[in-house]
């Protein structure tokens, strides 16, 4: 089912909202239907990681936008090559705060608001169209890049522990360092840190809220239950 981008003003900020059929846009777990469709399309993001150099901005410019989507309000930053940041809005946070946080993480980088550019970058996620490549253009240490690349290989419907991730990258004693790398993930959803759970059980914490993590994992669990209606 098709949708379109329309301008929506919330408070003092102009958003580009993805308008979808009413049955998809309903609140609650059904609001995650587009995430389910994207997963079904089997689109695997390609990670392009650049190691930061001292006193030199990795990206000369970032274009940012805020978007109201069925997955929640998202703050997106893109380079000329792909998505560099994808963050959910936290309760009580403001547009200015998220932009300031990005500026702290990316000093000396020019940041421009451009919802058209960020909407185009999100299009593969929200349409599930495999014809559009999904590139993540991130700044990362060599270790972080290894952890994030390993995370991308964790399929929907599955979870992994920090210890298992450490084993996957060939450093079984680096569980804590892996935890820090997971926590530093700049691209929510697409580098699926929500699939990391504690070895002791439960779903653990999540930067963007435990309730959101629980909903995402519930939708993805349908991959383990093919008899469940989609």
Q: What is the DSSP string of 124-144?
A: HHHH--TTS--EEEEE--HHH
Establish whether 73 is a catalytic residue.
no
Write the DSSP symbol of residue 30.
Answer: G
* Cα distances (angstroms) measured from residue 64 to each of 26, 49, 61, 118, 190: 26, 19, 10, 6, 17
* Cα distances (angstroms) measured from residue 181 to each of 67, 69, 148, 151, 185: 26, 27, 8, 11, 6
Cα separation, 181 vs 171, whole angstroms: 13
Residues that are catalytic: 193
């Amino acid at each position: 089912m098709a949708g379109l981008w329309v301008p929506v003003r919330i408070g003092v900020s102009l958003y580009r909202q993805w308008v979808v059929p009413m049955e998809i846009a309903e609140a609650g777990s059904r609001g995650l239907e587009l995430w389910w469709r994207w997963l079904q399309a089997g689109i695997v993001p390609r990670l392009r990681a650049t190691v930061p150099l001292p006193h030199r901005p990795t990206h000369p410019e970032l274009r940012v936008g805020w978007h109201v989507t069925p997955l929640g309000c998202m703050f997106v930053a893109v380079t000329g090559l792909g998505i560099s940041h994808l963050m959910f809005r936290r309760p009580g946070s403001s547009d200015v705060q998220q932009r300031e946080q990005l500026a702290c993480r990316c000093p000396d980088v020019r940041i421009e608001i451009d919802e058209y550019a960020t909407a185009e970058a999100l299009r593969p996620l929200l349409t599930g169209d495999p014809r559009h490549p999904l590139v993540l253009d991130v700044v990362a240490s060599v270790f972080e890049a290894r952890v994030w690349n390993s995370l991308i290989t964790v399929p929907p419907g599955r979870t992994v522990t920090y210890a298992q991730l450490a084993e996957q990258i060939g450093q079984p004693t680096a569980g804590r360092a892996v935890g820090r790398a997971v926590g530093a993930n700049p691209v929510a959803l697409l580098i699926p840190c929500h699939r990391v759970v504690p070895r002791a059980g439960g779903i653990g914490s999540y930067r963007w809220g435990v309730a959101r993590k629980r909903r995402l994992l519930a939708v993805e669990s349908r991959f383990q239950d093919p008899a469940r209606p989609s």
